[in-house]
Amino acid sequence: MSAIDQVFQQLRSQGRKAFIPFVTAGDPDLDFTADVLRELGKRGCSLCEIGVPYSDPIADGPVIQASYTRALERKIKLREILGMTARVSREIEAPLVTMVSYAIVYRHGLEAFVREAKETGVAGAIVPDLLVEESGPLAEICRREDFSLIQLVTPTTPRERAVRIADASSGFLYCVSVTGITGERRSLPPQLLENIAWLREQTELPLCIGFGVSQPEHVQQLAPVADGVIVGSAIVRRIAEAAVHPRDHVLADVGRYVESLMAALNPDGAA
C-alpha cells in the first residue's frame, strides 16, 4: 500500500475528502517552493502536487505555462527538484506527488525515476502525456515499488478507454472537469457529475477532480461526488506575486485561500 493509498483509506474512514494543491517547482525559486509546501502542509492539505517544469506542457493553461517558463529560465533540473522534495518531505505529513511529462521520466530512465523519486519522499507521479497503450512498463515498476501512477480521464475520453486508464492507474484517478486547458473558471459543466457517477461504477480508485476548480462554490458542488479536489492555477497565480510582493505576505495569502477551499470541502474542519 502506497502512502497515497493510506491517505485515502484514512480519509474514507473519516468520511472526509482530500484537498490537493498544485505548485510549480522552482517558481520563483526552489527555496520558495519549499516554503509554500511547508505552508500547505501546515494548513492540513491531504497531498501536495508538484509540477516539474517542461517546455511543452500538456493541457496547461497560461498561468501554469508562464510559471513553467519562469522556472525553466532558471535552468531548473529534475535532480534539484528531488533534492528539494527530500528536504520538505521530512517536514510535512502530506505525501508529495509530481506532475511530470513522460518525456522527462523516459529520459531519466523509468526504474531510476521511480527509485530516486521515492527515495526523496515522493509518493507518486501524475504523467499526463503517457498513453495507456504505453503505460505497462512504468505501471509495473510503480506497482512493485508501491509508487502511485496517477493518470487522467477527460470529458472526451471514450468510456472503454476510461476503464483501461483506470485499470492502469494507482493511488487515485485524476478526473479532468472540463474540455480544454487548466485555468480558473466561473462555473463547472453540468455533465461533470454524471461522468463522475459513471466512473464511480467502473473503479474502486479514489476520484479526484481538477481543472477549473478555484472557488468555494466549485468545491461545495464537487464534495458530494468526489474523493478529492485539485486546485492549481489559482494557487500558482498567487505564488507568482512573490516576484513583486513580500514573500511572507504571499505565503499568508496562499494559506488563507487554501483554507477557504478546504472549509468548503470539509465544513467540519481541515482536509
Catalogue the active-site residues.
49, 60
Within 13 Å of residue 133, how many CA atoms lie on the same side as its CB?
1
User: What DSSP designation does 133 have?
Assistant: G
Q: Which run of H or of E encompasses 21?
A: strand 18-24
Quick one: 232 exposed, middle or buried, by C-beta within 10 A (0-12, 13-18, 19+)?
buried
Long-range contacts of 9-14 (CB under 8 A, 24+ apart): 11/46, 11/227, 11/228, 11/271, 12/206, 12/227
Closest among 172, 190, 188 to 180, alpha carbons compared: 188
Hunting for cell 520538505 — which residue is that? 88
Return the number of other C-beta atoms located less than 10 Å from residue 14's C-beta.
11
Q: What phi and psi values does residue 43 have, to the nearest 5 degrees?
A: -75, -10
Quick one: 137 exposed, middle or buried, by C-beta within 10 A (0-12, 13-18, 19+)?
exposed
CA distance 185 to 196: 19
Return the number of other C-beta atoms located less than 10 Å from residue 1's C-beta.
7
